Chain A
Amino acid sequence: MPDPRKKITALIRSLEELRLHVGRKDLSIGEERVGAQLFFPLANACLRGRAVLLYGGMGANKTTLINLLGSSFQSLELDEVENLMVTGHPEQTEEKIIGFLDPRQWSRDSSETSVLWTPWARSRWKLINEINRFPSGKQNLFLEILQKRKISYAGQIIEPGDTCYFATMNPEFSATYPMDEALLDRISVCVPAQQPDFLAGLALAERERSVHELAESLPRFSPQEFDALPGLVAGVGISSRVELAILCLLRDFTLCERAPGFDKTQLSKARPSLGLCPGCHYFNNPEAICWQVDEGLSDRVRQDLRDFCRAMAFLLDRDADLEVLRAVAPYVIWHRVTPVRSALERPPYYGARRLAFVSELVEKSINRTLNERAEMNLLFSQAVDGELDISKALQELSAFDDPIARMDFIPALERMR
């Protein structure tokens, strides 16, 4: 079997040569610059059971890009891939999306209920187009599918196998509905899809062939190659530094001195944006992340960070190091959190650049973990491993004015004492 990574490289080259708009190169990983709009869907194609959401205005090539990738990875015609997707509108029903009872079963002498599953339900490349045009109640259907990774209808269950999930979403319009927070948490990565810039527009103007014609020129993956991708990604190692940075990143977003159990995910009506924080020790401290976002991060974020770091490192043929984490983490986190308005409205964010705001928080957390937190983390680890007296460690740790030391390390050591 040829190296699937080479085929992915060939696919990227073909997309560029065919002048398809795949977004600008806005993702810096070390020295390399790649396009987030293209590389996150590619990374998702190398994983299974994860979901990538492309977010942007009409005509940003979101749906076409996912369908072209589907055509290549599933080795299908573009028309066939387009038939696999479901598109959001208020009249979409569960029957239209996943399947319906086979009416022929009542004319047959059969005791088993038979369901006719839709191509979308059976497919391993699932695109939910314009997901926020589904009313909130119908969005719950996808919540269940993304959670269970299988589809049930009328007591029958279909397990399509390891699936790549994609969704597209428009900004809020009159015809869209708010996205459920639980559904957003199950979406691994959210990528802004931008309109073509000047040069991309020029390239598009020079394109002579239609997308359907171009799709035929793309390299195709065999089922064996497609199935081999998750194994190859799993082979990419993650260093202890990255693991530690991920752990601290999650705790930085989640810890809250005023939340039950110091866990911000326990909060409902009391939130930083609703006046929870004034008077708190960490409030308005630019180094502290807790007061700057409303929500804590779930463990799904940790899994998504690890998987997408691996997948991105695989695509770029490099180690899953901190540079990869710095690039990937904002896209994994920004759609899951709501920045506090007073912090987001400041320059240079002006209330609109949420991804950039979250990127800065991520950068702060990682830098802090690598530098200022070293002594504190080593003290804690020595105390846990019994190399340092717990009382002495507690005394030393109490001198650290860090949320993780105060709300995680000290309570943990006190329980061990």
Chain B
Amino acid sequence: MSLKGFMDDAYRGRTRARRLETRRGEMVFSLEDLADRVGTKPSRAEVEALVPGDGDQTLLAQLLAQEPKKAHQILWGYLSSIAADASPVPLKLAARDYAGLELCRGTLILAGARDHLGERMSGGRIFVQGPAGDYLGQEMSGGGIIAESCRDYALRNMRGGFAVLRGDARNYIGIGNSGGRIVLRGSCGERAGWLMRGGSLRIAGDAGDYLGLLMSGGRIIVRGRAGRRAGWRRKGGTIRAGGYGLEAADGVLGLD
């Protein structure tokens, strides 16, 4: 029997005119599935293409409820921002790394926070009911963060937006900032405002050593006392402090 005869016999003249349609599936049920599709370091647009904020809310909620493995933390962070941006009311989430990553306009309320909170955010608000971890609001360009306190490298390379910390910050707050406003109601550790080029940093308590090291722009105001070598190798900008320790650079002013 010829091949055509075999096929005719198999289909008995019942051939559908419909073309084959091999659609790409949307089989995303877990962060692992999502990582299979977009990798572990995708852009927000890639994640949003598969899990849109205005799409299946059950899926979004299901993914946000999962405890992410270390490799999937960035994915979870993007999902938290996508969900917050799409939500008409403030979104409450558990404290996890990268929450509010690249947040645009939504509002997040977090019961405590871990590292990289609000990283690269450009709008919206993040309220942290408790202390935040390292790298809080890193590279943020808009929006605002309000937290109790933070650890190291908070608000690094900030270009815009604001942050209010009700308590203390540890070392290296506001490194390399070129814009934005930081208000710290407590004290901070060493090297606050290091390499600062713009923006403002207001500290209600005391500041550690090397305040405004190598800064070239912006304003730092310390209500309390700055540590050793405030304004060391400063090239521009202003530093005003209630008091300062040994070896403060020339041009560091006292408060009126």
Near A by CB (< 8 A), chain B positions 1-28 give 2-4, 6-12, 14-25, 27
A156 at the B interface (CB under 8 A):
no
Q: Are B20 and A376 in contact (CB under 8 A)?
A: yes
Interface residues of B (CB under 8 A from A): 2-4, 6-12, 14-25, 27, 29-30, 32-33, 36-37, 39
Chain A residue with Cβ nearest B38: A278
Residues of A within 8 A of B21 (CB): 372, 401
A244 at the B interface (CB under 8 A):
yes
A227 at the B interface (CB under 8 A):
no
Q: Are A371 and B16 in contact (CB under 8 A)?
A: yes
Near B by CB (< 8 A), chain A positions 320-346 give 342-343, 346
Near B by CB (< 8 A), chain A positions 378-411 give 378, 380-382, 384-385, 387, 399-402, 405
Shortest beta-carbon distance from B31 to chain A in Å: 11
Chain A residue with Cβ nearest B2: A385
Q: Are B33 and A401 in contact (CB under 8 A)?
A: no
Q: Are B24 and A401 in contact (CB under 8 A)?
A: no
Q: How far, in whole Å, are A243 and B7 apart by their CA atoms in the complex?
A: 10
Q: How far, in whole Å, are A347 and B29 apart by their CA atoms in the complex?
A: 9
A377 at the B interface (CB under 8 A):
yes
Q: How far, in whole Å, are A373 and B14 apart by their CA atoms in the complex?
A: 11
Interface size class of A (residues with CB under 8 A): 35 or more
Known: A243-B10, A374-B11, A378-B11. A405 touches B20 (CB 8 A): yes
Q: Are A285 and B22 in contact (CB under 8 A)?
A: yes
Number of A-B residue pairs with CB-CB distance less than 8 Å in the complex they form: 94
Chain B residue with Cβ nearest A245: B10
Q: Are B23 and A346 in contact (CB under 8 A)?
A: no
Residues of B within 8 A of A399 (CB): 19
Judged by DSSP, the binding face of B is loop
Residues of A within 8 A of B33 (CB): 284, 342
Residues of B within 8 A of A346 (CB): 27, 29-30
Q: How far, in whole Å, are A400 and B19 apart by their CA atoms in the complex?
A: 7
Residues of A within 8 A of B9 (CB): 239-241
Q: How far, in whole Å, are A64 and B192 apart by their CA atoms in the complex?
A: 79
Q: Are A241 and B4 in contact (CB under 8 A)?
A: no
User: Which 9 pairs show the lowest CB-CB distances between chains A and B?
Assistant: A401-B22, A240-B9, A374-B15, A286-B25, A240-B10, A381-B3, A381-B7, A381-B4, A244-B10
Q: Are A385 and B25 in contact (CB under 8 A)?
A: no
Residues of B within 8 A of A381 (CB): 2-4, 6-7
Residues of B within 8 A of A286 (CB): 25, 27
Chain A residue with Cβ nearest B11: A374
Point out which of B11, B32, B39 has the most chain A C-beta atoms below 10 A from its C-beta: B11
Q: How far, in whole Å, are A371 and B17 apart by their CA atoms in the complex?
A: 10
Known: A244-B6, A284-B36. A375 touches B19 (CB 8 A): yes
Shortest beta-carbon distance from B51 to chain A in Å: 14
Q: How far, in whole Å, are A399 and B17 apart by their CA atoms in the complex?
A: 13
Residues of B within 8 A of A243 (CB): 6, 10
Known: A243-B10, A372-B16. A282 touches B36 (CB 8 A): no
Residues of A within 8 A of B25 (CB): 284-287
